[in-house]
Chains A and B, each alone.
Chain A
Amino acid sequence: MTPDTVVIGAGLAGLTCALRLTEGGCKVAVVAAGAGSLHLGGATIDILGYDPAVVTSPAAALGSFIRSHPGHPYMRVAPSLWAGALEWLRARCEPLHLTGSLDENLMLPTAAGALKPSALAPRSLAAGDLGSGGKLALVSFSALKDFYPRLAAANLNRAQPGPTERVEARAIDLHGTVAGEADPGTLRLARAFEEAAFRDEIVARLKGRIEPGERVGFPAVLGLHRSPEVVAELAERIGEAVFEIPTLPPSIPGMRLHALLNRALRKAGGRVVMGASVVSSASHNGRLEAVSTDTGSRRSSHGARDFVVATGGVSAGGVTLDSSWRFKESALDLPLAGVPPPGTERFCADVFGSHPVSRVGVAVDEEWRPLDADGRVVYNNVRVCGATLAGAEPHKEMSGNGISLVTGYAVADAILRS
């Protein structure tokens, strides 16, 4: 089967684009070097959290943000697509009950006890929203090294969300090993929570330790694939609302979202080839004809009418920098924009500063096609989405999954329209 579209990359941008194309009647093949970056995050869809002050309503803030950030990927997203992209994802991830909207950011507690603005989050995380304050009891497992609720609670008590809203947080320690292991890790704990006996034990140990009206926060390990049932059961048996806080990677909520999208794509008829890095490509008359992948055992060629580059940015390997300080777009060697000129700073001295490297990526036209330094389209049938795009500082803006979702959605839209 020759696909209509080859999507390179299986992160949120690639999966969104591929799934939407498949649903639109395209034959799609996804080729990807790895599983993408969803496993690293809490599955929150952060549209815009800072500009640079904290954003309460992305819908209200986006207009001026886009005007003051020329070259930002959001600039190319048609206003009509925003709400559609969010609703589309919500419908595809029904079991996660994505909660929230463009109109108002949730303020979700982090494992360090800061508040993080997100537009959309799985209900199990959104239930910890502190936009209106509240009383929290954070459950700590001493065996889990990737979550420190005492520190989180103490910091939450210092960081008040607003002039009137109050947060009162405390930690409840559950000491000892988990399922006999001293160092179980998040995945082991998530699997333990899918066992009824383990849940019985946790509920028994928490009995009498929760105050009325306290929301009970757990590290985000409440089940892997059966999390909605696990969360619902715990809430019912504890008698108070239960929520999750993302831990250090691997992050279970990200794994859940990734698994859902992957399954939906395969079910809809999309093909996914993992462990396949693009190593070369063939083009003719400004059109890309095929990409070759190397899967270790053999090389394969993938031809298609349209191609989508969704390989991620620097952290995912979509953009690389070598020891001679040359940046490269790793799949097709597309021209990169925002590259700091030789002799200028690639980073600033403040670790949390605005690093020029963050903005390096591929510049695109209004059809999401890659542009060279003179603004000419490089390939007519290649489109770029997600973190590969130039012009964003996703960590500082708190816009990472937002960019991946809406640009992946928009690219699919552009291909379907053509």
Chain B
Amino acid sequence: MKTIEAEVLVIGGGATGAGVLRDVCMRGYGGLLVERSDLATGTSGRFHGLLHSGGRYAVKDPSSAKECMDENRVLRRIAADCIEDTSGYFVTTEKDDPSYSDLFVDGCRRAGIPVEEISVSAALNAEPRLSPRISRVLQVPDAAIDAWKTVWGCVRSASDHGGRALPYHKVTGILREGDIVVGAVVEDRAGDEVRIRAGFTINASGAWAAQIAALAGCGGFTILPGRGIMIAMGHRLVDTVINRCQMPTDGDILVPIRTVSVIGTTDEEASDPDDLRILQDEVDRMLADGETLVPGFRQVRALRVWAGVRPLFKDEKAESSSTREVSRSHRLLDHHDRDGVEGFITITGGKFTTFRRMAQDSVDIMGAQLKDERACHTHEEALPDSEERTYYKLGSRLAAREERLHDEQIICECELIGRRALENAMQRRGSSDLDDIRRTLRLGMGPCQGGFCIYRSAGILHSLQRIDAASATASLRDFLQERWKGLHPILYGDGLRQARLDDWIFQGLLNVEQLQS
């Protein structure tokens, strides 16, 4: 069995894990991250893309609200290229209790969230598709954040500081010597086992944290997976994040991100964090809620639905009836104090917006255990591509495309991906998995959901001689199967027509079903 040495091993390749990897590396430790799948494919890649202002928690959870606002400011500084500065409205619809908005304003003020009342007519001017039946609009500094770009940015930053991430390395066991955790055993994509010897291990596996902790013999807590669905709608219905001004509930937010708008979310208690079912009833509720925010919502093409699980922490003793009642604040478990196990901590819970803070707190605890306290710098240094501190703007790909309109092929028309960008991503990722390339570039994430670009991408992947025809064909088919999961529950209207056209292309025209993978 191959053995790798690392000073600090980070388990989990979501935002928290990537943030921890970056943090330990910036503090001068040699960090290694392992992730069972691709980076940001658990909870981090499965949310609506909101950079919280904290407004959502202003009434119910003031400390979370303040933490969100603080981190919102930090991320705007260090990850500007991942953020679109959309701003956010909290709107009182005809279905919301009007008295909540006063509580909301008070809560925002107490949490230090800049909140400004704007007139309904000004809001409707700025967002003409918004329901004219709203009665009050409060503006807060919400924004949209690209999860994949942020997570990869953290990993790139970490590698600039000597760190390394290994996607597709699944932890199968935690190595213990007596009461000390000394690393983990992982299984790579080929199914081979690798032993990782580490001086310290940080479990940042989110909704899977209890499973990983159990491998180390540490228990006494559970993670309640709160499953929520989100639906990406075919284009930008709004350019501002729209929240319902009421206590957190289903279908209370519409986030404009990149070329789409995402509505979220539901909250169902699941027993397994890998249970990503999408129920018809949930889809119907989301569409109805969308109609409340934006009349005509149902006539818009739904592009894709997905489910994500929130890692909601619960100590065995605490009582709770619903997952929404569990605090969204993150939890840091010092297994030395809890279980008498050294060299091992767990960080879980929390929100995407606060991932950097969670990382900082974790590495602080590690420093305390190691009696080697070093200062955190993650809030000071910008991520790669964000050095100029300018926000991402919708239309930037179009602007770049217009500059070279006649000298480059466009492979994915929906997301405006040129051939060079695609080939570079294929080379850089070194992956033959088209779904990995999708997350890097948003390949196939637009209205045709890969109908045109995936055959092209498979052809290009093969012609770059990265893989043989059987693997290219398998990658093409896997991509289609993976997309299908998020498509069939929301296929109606033009989306259904598109899906039937795509089916015609792959079955009728190319007959890929008959090809052996």
B298 touches A323 (CB 8 A): yes
Q: Which of A147, A150, A321, A398 contacts B492 (CB 8 A)?
A: A321
B505 touches A151 (CB 8 A): no
Interchain CA distance A183-B280 in the complex, whole Å: 41
Within 8 A of A (CB), among B462-517: 462-463, 468-470, 472-473, 476, 480-481, 483-485, 488, 491-493, 496-497, 500-501, 503-516
- B335 is an interface residue with CB less than 8 A from chain A: no
Interchain CA distance A371-B21 in the complex, whole Å: 66
B512 touches A154 (CB 8 A): no
A112 touches B497 (CB 8 A): no
Given A41-B509, A112-B510, A315:B515 Cβ within 8 A: no
Interchain CA distance A248-B512 in the complex, whole Å: 13
B447, chain A: closest CB distance, angstroms: 15
A143 touches B409 (CB 8 A): yes
A146, chain B: closest CB distance, angstroms: 7
B458 touches A151 (CB 8 A): yes
A182 touches B408 (CB 8 A): yes
A145 touches B458 (CB 8 A): no
- A249 is an interface residue with CB less than 8 A from chain B: yes
B507 touches A396 (CB 8 A): yes
- Which residues does chain B contribute within 8 Å of A313, judged by CB atoms? 500
A112 touches B511 (CB 8 A): yes
B508 touches A398 (CB 8 A): yes
- Which residues does chain A contribute within 8 Å of B302, judged by CB atoms? 323
A59, chain B: closest CB distance, angstroms: 22
Residue of A nearest to B498 (CB): A315
B509 touches A110 (CB 8 A): yes
Residue of A nearest to B404 (CB): A182
- Which residues does chain A contribute within 8 Å of B470, judged by CB atoms? 158
Q: Which of A40, A148, A321, A398 contacts B493 (CB 8 A)?
A: A321
Q: Which of B419, B491, B509, B514 contacts A111 (CB 8 A)?
A: B509
- B25 is an interface residue with CB less than 8 A from chain A: no
A107, chain B: closest CB distance, angstroms: 10
Number of interface residues of A (CB under 8 A): 55
Interchain CA distance A115-B515 in the complex, whole Å: 9
Interchain CA distance A112-B419 in the complex, whole Å: 19
Given A151-B458, A323-B492, A183:B287 Cβ within 8 A: no
B510 touches A114 (CB 8 A): yes
Q: Which of B287, B456, B496, B501 contacts A148 (CB 8 A)?
A: B456
Stretch at the interface among A20-28, A230-238, A299-307, A345-353: A345-353
- B452 is an interface residue with CB less than 8 A from chain A: yes
Q: Which of A112, A150, A155, A157 has its CB near the most chain B CB atoms (within 10 A)?
A: A112
B496 touches A111 (CB 8 A): no
B509 touches A42 (CB 8 A): yes
Interchain CA distance A113-B497 in the complex, whole Å: 26
- Which residues does chain A contribute within 8 Å of B459, judged by CB atoms? 147-148, 150-151
Given A111-B455, A249-B505, A347-B491, A155:B473 Cβ within 8 A: yes
A38, chain B: closest CB distance, angstroms: 12
Given A150-B463, A151-B472, A155-B473, A145:B496 Cβ within 8 A: no
A111 touches B488 (CB 8 A): no
B277, chain A: closest CB distance, angstroms: 11
Interchain CA distance A249-B503 in the complex, whole Å: 13
- Which residues does chain A contribute within 8 Å of B408, judged by CB atoms? 182-183
- A314 is an interface residue with CB less than 8 A from chain B: yes
Within 8 A of B (CB), among A323-378: 323-325, 343, 346-347, 349-352, 357
B497 touches A317 (CB 8 A): yes
Mark each residue of chain A from 77 to 92: 1 if its CB lies under 8 Å from any CB of chain B, else 0.
0000000000000000
- Which residues does chain B contribute within 8 Å of A246, judged by CB atoms? 509
Mark each residue of chain A from 112 to 130: 1 if its CB lies under 8 Å from any CB of chain B, else 0.
1111100000000000000
Interchain CA distance A322-B488 in the complex, whole Å: 14
- Which residues does chain A contribute within 8 Å of B500, judged by CB atoms? 313-315
- Which residues does chain B contribute within 8 Å of A157, judged by CB atoms? 469
Give the number of residue pairs across the A-B interface with Cβ within 8 Å: 151
Interchain CA distance A343-B128 in the complex, whole Å: 36
- B425 is an interface residue with CB less than 8 A from chain A: no
Q: Which of B492, B508, B514 has its CB near the most chain A CB atoms (within 10 A)?
A: B508
- Which residues does chain A contribute within 8 Å of B463, judged by CB atoms? 148, 150-151
Residue of A nearest to B472 (CB): A151
Residue of A nearest to B407 (CB): A182
- Which residues does chain B contribute within 8 Å of A349, judged by CB atoms? 484-485, 488
Interchain CA distance A320-B495 in the complex, whole Å: 11
Given A150-B459, A314-B500, A322-B493, A114:B508 Cβ within 8 A: no
A80, chain B: closest CB distance, angstroms: 28
B456 touches A146 (CB 8 A): yes
A347 touches B488 (CB 8 A): yes
Q: Which of A54, A114, A159 has its CB near the most chain B CB atoms (within 10 A)?
A: A114
A349, chain B: closest CB distance, angstroms: 8
Residue of A nearest to B459 (CB): A148
Interchain CA distance A395-B492 in the complex, whole Å: 19
A315 touches B497 (CB 8 A): yes
A339, chain B: closest CB distance, angstroms: 13
- Which residues does chain B contribute within 8 Å of A352, judged by CB atoms? 506-507, 513
A323 touches B493 (CB 8 A): yes
- Which residues does chain B contribute within 8 Å of A396, judged by CB atoms? 507
Interchain CA distance A141-B480 in the complex, whole Å: 26
- B410 is an interface residue with CB less than 8 A from chain A: yes
- A181 is an interface residue with CB less than 8 A from chain B: yes
- Which residues does chain B contribute within 8 Å of A320, judged by CB atoms? 493
Residue of B nearest to A317 (CB): B497
- B406 is an interface residue with CB less than 8 A from chain A: yes
- A16 is an interface residue with CB less than 8 A from chain B: no
- Which residues does chain B contribute within 8 Å of A347, judged by CB atoms? 488, 491
- A11 is an interface residue with CB less than 8 A from chain B: no
- A394 is an interface residue with CB less than 8 A from chain B: yes
- Which residues does chain A contribute within 8 Å of B462, judged by CB atoms? 148, 150-151, 154
Interchain CA distance A114-B501 in the complex, whole Å: 19
Q: Which of A143, A182, A248, A317 contacts B509 (CB 8 A)?
A: A248
Q: Which of B411, B468, B481, B511 contacts A351 (CB 8 A)?
A: B481
- Which residues does chain B contribute within 8 Å of A42, judged by CB atoms? 509
- Which residues does chain A contribute within 8 Å of B469, judged by CB atoms? 113, 151, 154-155, 157-158
A40 touches B504 (CB 8 A): yes
- B460 is an interface residue with CB less than 8 A from chain A: yes
A148 touches B455 (CB 8 A): yes
Q: Which of B408, B500, B506 has its CB near the most chain A CB atoms (within 10 A)?
A: B500
A158 touches B516 (CB 8 A): yes
A395 touches B507 (CB 8 A): yes
Interchain CA distance A155-B507 in the complex, whole Å: 16
Q: Which of B287, B480, B515 contacts A114 (CB 8 A)?
A: B515
Within 8 A of B (CB), among A275-319: 313-317
- Which residues does chain B contribute within 8 Å of A116, judged by CB atoms? 511, 514
Q: Which of B298, B483, B493, B515 contacts A113 (CB 8 A)?
A: B515
Q: Which of A110, A158, A323, A357 contacts B511 (CB 8 A)?
A: A110
Residue of A nearest to B512 (CB): A112
Residue of A nearest to B480 (CB): A351
B492 touches A325 (CB 8 A): yes
- A58 is an interface residue with CB less than 8 A from chain B: no
Interchain CA distance A182-B456 in the complex, whole Å: 15
- Which residues does chain B contribute within 8 Å of A113, judged by CB atoms? 469, 515
- A73 is an interface residue with CB less than 8 A from chain B: no
- Which residues does chain B contribute within 8 Å of A40, judged by CB atoms? 501, 504-505, 509
A182 touches B409 (CB 8 A): yes
Interchain CA distance A181-B513 in the complex, whole Å: 33
- A400 is an interface residue with CB less than 8 A from chain B: yes
B299, chain A: closest CB distance, angstroms: 8
4 new A-B contacts at CB < 8 Å, known A154-B469, A182-B409, A314-B497: A148-B458, A182-B408, A249-B505, A325-B492
A-B contacts, 24 listed (Cβ < 8 Å): A41-B509, A111-B510, A112-B511, A112-B515, A113-B515, A146-B456, A148-B459, A150-B462, A151-B458, A154-B468, A158-B516, A159-B516, A181-B406, A182-B406, A182-B407, A183-B410, A315-B504, A347-B488, A350-B481, A352-B507, A352-B513, A357-B491, A395-B507, A398-B508
